[in-house]
Amino acid sequence: MKKLYPCEYVHPRSGRSCTRGSYEPGRCHVHRKSPEWYLCPECGKLTCSKYGRCDEHAMKYRKRDQYNRKKLENIMNDNAETGESVLLTKSCH
Ligand SMILES: [Zn+2]
Ligand SMILES: [Zn+2]
């Protein structure tokens, strides 16, 4: 008999943890792929943004990110003849 581990995922909105059991420690198969949730340090809103802030407050970080990406793109275009860019694949969620 395999031991069941309780899922470590806590629902961000209700604060309740998942009751599903899993054969591996950590999270159940449903929540293994769930994004991490953060509380925006500026307004306390829940967000799964990779910036650790709500959409509103992540804006300035996102803008900076886009700026950097554009810069990177330009460098890549300057250096490589192939138009393929691996860096442009979406990473969010
Ligand atoms: Zn779970
Ligand atoms: Zn915020």
Could you give the maximum distance between any two Cα atoms of the chain, in Å? 59
Which ligand is in closest contact with the Cα of 41? Answer: 2
Measured distance CA(20)–CA(5) in Å, rounded:
9
CA of 21 relative to ligand 1 center, distance in Å: 7
Q: Give all strands (DSSP E) within the chain, no chain letters.
A: 5-6, 21-22, 38-39, 46-47
Helix then strand then coil, in percent of the chain rounded to 5, is 30, 10, 60
CA of 67 relative to ligand 2 center, distance in Å: 21
What's the full length of the chain, in residues? Answer: 93
Q: Is the pLDDT of residue 10 over 70?
A: yes
Q: How confident is the model at residue 63 (pLDDT cuts 50, 70, 90)?
A: confident
DSSP class per residue in 3-23: PPEEP--B-TTT-PBP--EES
How confident is the model over 23-61, as pLDDT tens digits?
A: 889 999 989 888 888 888 889 988 888 778 888 898 887
